[in-house]
A = this chain, B = another copy of it.
């Protein structure tokens, strides 16, 4: 692969940012990768692990010569970051991100871009329970999907370079409108997380009524699978739920209706109605591929 960028800067060198740094460096996609962060020990570890060439604590210093800057911090921090250093970016620079929400977040980032600097939103879908650069790997995104979310304002060349970056990382790159991204991810990812977090919450509540209920001891495969994602990062999911609030609330409404209908069928003993509802769910579930990215 020809060199895609001269200098790359990664803001937040954790699991995702660190893995991206490893890919940029080891595939020769960038001549140099600088990491920006606050925790010196973590940045030193990132250098040791080959995720970045060097690090700086002063973000302005880190981004001023960069061709590409990737925001890999919690989405709630983007505004603070961009207000701090976007004005230092050189003309032609690309700012991208790895956030799990897009819609309003992309609008916000575009508003904060100086003239001549291009924003391209991206969402690499790499679910890993682990966090931190130590869990990073240049294979993290291999075989996974990455959704890029251009708008009318997006520079076509900048978009193409970001697409190439994620293709080189081994991902299947999909292009999607930012607002549609949040609808679709709201349905297939954010709603299931709400459902799983709420299920654990309900079981804790039920245990106060059934004290001999030992959740860990009595958990079978069904419960374990259904609640696996309830062990996800509370900070990250707090931000996702808030940034995609309208879709998430609307989809919880739809879910409450579906649940209420099933409850009513069970409460009234409508055997045929229950079987029909379960059959409909089963048929749709069986269309899922057995294993994908």
Contact B259 A252 (CB under 8 A): yes
Q: Given B215, B220, B278, B288, which contacts A224 in the complex, CB threshold below 8 Å? A: B288
The answer to whether A189 and B220 touch (CB under 8 A), given A184-B212, A205-B254, A229-B226, is: yes
Contact B266 A242 (CB under 8 A): yes
**How large, as a class, is the contact surface on chain A?**
35 or more
Smallest distance from the beta carbon of A17 to chain B beta carbons, Å? 20
Residue positions of A touching B, CB distance < 8 A: 125, 127, 180, 183-185, 187-189, 191-207, 210, 212-213, 215-216, 218-235, 237-238, 241-242, 245, 248-249, 251-263, 266-267, 269, 271, 274-275, 277-282, 284-289, 292-293
Complex: A256 Cα to B195 Cα, angstroms = 10
Contact A192 B227 (CB under 8 A): yes
Contact B258 A205 (CB under 8 A): yes
The answer to whether A191 and B202 touch (CB under 8 A), given A219-B292, A229-B225, A232-B282, is: yes
Contact B215 A271 (CB under 8 A): no
Contact B262 A194 (CB under 8 A): yes
Smallest distance from the beta carbon of A218 to chain B beta carbons, Å? 5
Q: Given B180, B231, B238, which contacts A285 in the complex, CB threshold below 8 Å? A: B231
Complex: A13 Cα to B1 Cα, angstroms = 60
Complex: A135 Cα to B277 Cα, angstroms = 26
Contact B125 A287 (CB under 8 A): no
Smallest distance from the beta carbon of A212 to chain B beta carbons, Å? 7
A–B Cβ pairs within 8 angstroms, 29 of them: A183-B210, A188-B213, A188-B215, A188-B220, A188-B223, A189-B220, A192-B226, A195-B259, A199-B255, A200-B281, A200-B284, A200-B285, A201-B262, A201-B281, A202-B251, A219-B288, A222-B228, A225-B229, A226-B226, A227-B281, A227-B288, A228-B285, A231-B282, A234-B275, A234-B282, A241-B266, A245-B266, A252-B263, A256-B259
